[in-house]
Amino acid sequence: MAFAVTSSSSAAISGSSFSRSSSSADLKVPQIGSFRLADRYATVNLSQKRCAVKPVNAEPKRNDSLLPQAASISAPEVSEKVEVEDFEQLAKELDNASPLEIMDKALEKFGNDIAIAFSGAEDVALIEYAKLTGRPFRVFSLDTGRLNPETYRFFDEVEKHYGIRIEYMFPDAVEVQALVRSKGLFSFYEDGHQECCRVRKVRPLRRALKGLRAWITGQRKDQSPGTRSEVPVVQVDPVFEGLEGGVGSLVKWNPVANVDGTDIWNFLRAMNVPVNSLHSQGFVSIGCEPCTRPVLPGQHEREGRWWWEDAKAKECGLHKGNLKQDSSAQLNGNGNGNGNGAAAHTDIFDSQSLVTLSRAGIENLARLESRKEPWIVVLYAPWCPYCQAMEESYVALAEKLAGSGVKVAKFRADGEQKEYAQKELQLGSFPTILFFPKHSAKPIKYGSEKRDVDSLMAFVNALR
Ligand code: SF4
């Protein structure tokens, strides 16, 4: 495995211009100093104070990452002085900063102990931003073994374009073998993507991150309204551990959190950055070949991922920290919502335009062969952040439909109602929205993640 490690050494920062290697043969050895800093950074002292993450339950220091020991190759001398940084405060300060400023800050703070996680999609913008800072940077990628051929070719193109070697992480062969031998190559279509993602993505990522103190992702708030709407530009990683070990030992930077997809594409075009050829075939979000498909105009990009599953389950584990505790439990199948979490939340969807259905009420509704009027019903749990997020639009929908002949209702389906809702009402995760047509007993499930008024109204109008 070859690795591209850009240098943090003082030698590397003494150059005066950014240089690209043109030959891949030149890249077989880690390119210490393959990026040279522009003049404006020539005086930057990378041996400045380290930024320590507030350790929570810190464990003894260890370094069992399979990533190349970049630190041992080229780590700059660092001061022993440790400065504890408040990353929540920093996130606030940087919330209006440009991606370039955020990237610069991240690379400045963490030097050789930070790397960009590159998926082979439009997050190539991160590499471009890193290049523009003039600082050395590292890039790693998870090769799941199931990527599209176009993505592999794109990796190669990116390496050549930027003169880097991507630090690929591979799944454990024994684990993949056990999974595939016992369940076949496409088990994720039957029992969900979590297990395969755990073997092919999450564990390799975990190993990669154990060799770092910070990482940089291309997460954006607009990518998944259900799970990414609160992504900060920088945070203490809520899930993974870094080099120092222990929860809180890793910092996660999301420089494009506040940028929308259109602006990313404008940037890529303006900078003439190479892009994955799958994009021109209708792919927006790109992952593994069996789990990614193109989306239609107007469809949300995440609808092209794991489309056979409920919308809320669409985090592969790499960014599980985006899921709130209750919903994580729900996803793992062990949350029934009738514990402390349920008790602590007041009810939602409170409107006179909405009918509150009891268990008997929804059983009756489901039983009817023909109804006086169609119904739209949300199966919800008040503690669920995705239900909370759609409260405003659902109440607005109810007000718009008042007197129209379509009834709008809610049914609280957590706790002891959950089993019934799963069995009889197609409940997968919260919220589940059902349309009960006038002349059919079978309810129709709303399949999109878009839960704004217009999308819900389009659903109703198509079926009423
Ligand atoms: Fe497996 Fe699909 Fe996850 Fe790739 S995206 S690791 S193929 S489940």
Residue 285's pLDDT is: 81
pLDDT tens for residues 165-201?
999 999 999 999 999 999 999 999 888 888 999 999 9
Ligand 1: does its nearest atom lie under 6 Å from the Cβ of 306?
A: no
- Mean pLDDT is lowest, of 72-81, 127-136, 428-437, for 72-81
CA pair distance 253, 236, nearest whole angstrom? 9
Q: How far is the CA of 192 from the centre of ligand 1 (A)?
A: 9
Ligand 1 mean position to 60 CA, how many Å?
A: 33
Distances (CA, A) of 331 to 151, 206, 328, 435: 29, 20, 5, 24
The residue whose CA has the least distance to atom 3 of ligand 1 is 197
**Could you give the CA distance from residue 69 to residue 188 in angstroms, rounded to a whole number?**
34
Among 123, 119, 150, smallest CA distance to 277 is for 150
When comparing pLDDT for 83 and 16, which is higher? 83
- pTM (two decimals): 0.57
Can 197 be counted among the known catalytic residues? no
Going by pLDDT thresholds of 50, 70 and 90, the confidence category of residue 227 is low
Residue 213 main-chain phi, psi, to 5 deg: -110, -10
Dump pLDDT digits (tens) for 302-355. 677 777 776 555 555 566 566 554 444 333 333 333 333 444 567 889 888 999
Residue type, 145: G
CA of 257 to the centre of ligand 1 (A): 24
- Pocket test of ligand 1: the residue of 197, 292, 314 to mutate, having most ligand atoms within 8 Å of its CB, is 197
Ligand 1, atom 4: nearest CA belongs to which residue? 288
Count of Cβ atoms closer than 10 Å to residue 276 Cβ: 22
Does the CB atom of residue 142 touch ligand 1 within 6 A?
A: no
Can you tell me the mean pLDDT for 49-64? 38
What pLDDT is recorded for position 322?
61
Which of 189, 288, 307 for a ligand 1 pocket mutation test, highest count of atoms within 8 Å of Cβ?
288
Based on the residue annotation, tell me whether 384 is a catalytic residue of this protein: yes
Are 30 and 159 contacting, i.e. CB atoms less than 8 angstroms apart?
Answer: no
- How far, in Å, is the centroid of ligand 1 from the Cα of 156? 21
Above 60 in pLDDT, residue 436?
yes
Which range has the worst mean pLDDT, 22-36, 112-126, 138-152, 269-283?
22-36
Q: Give 34's pLDDT tier (boundaries 50, 70, 90).
A: very low
Q: What pLDDT does residue 70 have?
A: 38
Give the residue-averaged pLDDT of 205-233: 85
More confident residue, 117 or 366: 117
288 lines ligand 1 (CB under 6 A): yes
Out of 51, 196, 288, 387, which one is annotated catalytic? 387
- Residue 316 in contact with ligand 1 by CB distance below 6 A: yes
330 to 157, 305, 340, 346: CA distances (angstroms): 40, 20, 14, 19
pLDDT at position 144 over 70? yes
What is the chain's mean pLDDT, rounded? 78
Q: Residue 315 has what pLDDT?
A: 52
Instruction: For the chain, give the percent of residues with pLDDT over 70.
Output: 72
Q: Is the C-beta atom of 210 inside 6 A of ligand 1?
A: no
Residue 185 alpha carbon to ligand 1 centre in Å: 10
User: In which element (H, E) is residue 128 found?
Assistant: helix 124-133
**What is the average per-residue pLDDT within 40-64?**
37
pLDDT on residue 302:
67
- Tell which atom from ligand 1 comes closest to the C-alpha of 289: 7
Q: What is the pLDDT of residues 236-263, one digit of tens each?
A: 998 889 998 877 899 999 999 999 989 9
Between the CA of 205 and the centroid of ligand 1 the distance, in Å, is 13
pLDDT at 224: 59
Looking at residue 175, its pLDDT comes to: 95
Is residue 201 lining ligand 1, measured as CB closer than 6 Å?
yes
Whole-number percent of the chain with pLDDT over 90: 49
